[in-house]
Amino acid sequence: MLDVQYRLKQAGLRVTHSRMAVLKLLEQQGDDLTIKQIYQKLHVQHQQLSLATIYRVVSDLVDAGLIASYQFHRAEAKFNLPDQSKKQILHIQCSALTSNQQAQFLQSLQAVFQQFQVNLMQLEIQESA
């Protein structure tokens, strides 16, 4: 849930129940879904969102780059999360840092990513045993 909220905030979108519900549903699905399929699946999960709301939410999420839209010929547009295989992982290993040093390091790392227009999707810090 926190990951979904973080991605919405990073994309400059307000965290709403509707946006979170659609994003979580698309994370759980392996197949691309049409707007109507999204509506039906959310309805089965007792998410009472109107079809118009789902159209607006999906449009916002596509514009923000959080979900991808696919349309083949005259078929209905289908939506899913962008292809995860195109994402790259950067693994940095460093010596022990104090919490103050860690905060400074993360700030400088984020500044470098912004400078090169790299979209930082997730940041995870693991301490070795």
Q: Is 31 marked within a binding site?
A: no
- Tokens representing 102? 């860690």
- Helices 17-28 and 2-10 meet at what angle, rounded to 10? 110
What does the DSSP assignment read for 30-74?
SS-B-HHHHHHHHHHTT----HHHHHHHHHHHHHTTSSEEE--TT
Taking residue 77's Cβ as centre, other Cβ atoms within 10 Å add up to 14
Query: Binding site for Zn(2+): residue ranges?
Result: 94
Query: Binding site: residue ranges?
Result: 94
